[in-house]
Amino acid sequence: MNLTWSHAVLNVRDLDSMLDFYTGVLGFEVTDRGPIADGAPEIVFLSQNPDEHHQLAMVAVRKDDDRPNSLNHVAFRTPDFADVKTLHDALQGIDGIRVGPISHGNTLSIYFNDPEGNGIEVFWDTPFHVSQPHGTPWDTSLDEEQALDWVRETFGADETFEPRDGYYERRRAAAGG
């Protein structure tokens, strides 16, 4: 069996606020919406990928005001370092949104919450691999070259630090591919 990630469904309190955030700030598009069944709540499907009907869906069924506790975070990869920086800047000053730039050596990430407290990570893959877990705050004012130099300096002494391609070549070979 070869599973790939498809989508997550969030139970939300304020559907309009959540849709504004995910479409306006994160750039998702509503692809479909409608009641789950007769008399049931509406489900809204969202995607950024034209080849995926939905990457996220939301159903307005949450009644509590507690912070969500069954989901730590959902993570999204971006192919461009600049996107991480642009999003970091766009999130500044949005009421109730907390942002933390963290590098795992393998990635340069920003962690933040949506309006209902669900955790989100948006990351850019570095060309390196280092065994996990690692997590060190990084300076989002760095340009791409400076950030990669910082990753080398910060994680390079770890004995597992290596080029990303070598790590994945070994994994593919071990899997028989």
Tens of pLDDT along 69-119?
667 789 999 999 999 999 999 999 999 999 999 999 999 999 999 999 989
| CA dist 141 → 14, 27, 88, 89, 110 (Å) | 34, 23, 10, 10, 13
Report the pLDDT value the prediction gives residue 140, as an integer from 0 to 100. Answer: 97
Which is it for strands 56-59 and 8-11: parallel, antiparallel or unpaired? parallel
What CATH number has the domain bearing residue 111?
3.30.720.110
Of residues 64 and 48, which shows the higher confidence score? 48
Q: What is the pTM of this model?
A: 0.82
Report the pLDDT value the prediction gives residue 4, as an integer from 0 to 100. Answer: 67
Tens of pLDDT along 121-144?
999 999 999 989 899 999 999 999
Q: What span, in angstroms and rounded, lies between the C-alpha atoms of 177 and 172?
A: 5
Report the pLDDT value the prediction gives residue 1, as an integer from 0 to 100. Answer: 38
Question: Does residue 169 sit in the same domain as residue 135?
Answer: yes
Report the pLDDT value the prediction gives residue 176, as an integer from 0 to 100. Answer: 79
Report the pLDDT value the prediction gives residue 70, as an integer from 0 to 100. Answer: 64
CB atoms within 10 A of CB 26: 18
Q: Give the three-class secondary structure for 88.
A: helix
Q: Residue 15 pLDDT more than 90?
A: yes
Question: Does residue 169 sit in the same domain as residue 82?
Answer: yes
Domain range enclosing 56: 1-64
Tens of pLDDT along 63-73?
877 766 667 78
What CATH number has the domain bearing residue 7?
3.10.180.10
CA atoms lying within 13 Å on the CB side of residue 143:
1
Report the pLDDT value the prediction gives residue 69, as an integer from 0 to 100. Answer: 64
Q: Residue 167 pLDDT more than 50?
A: yes
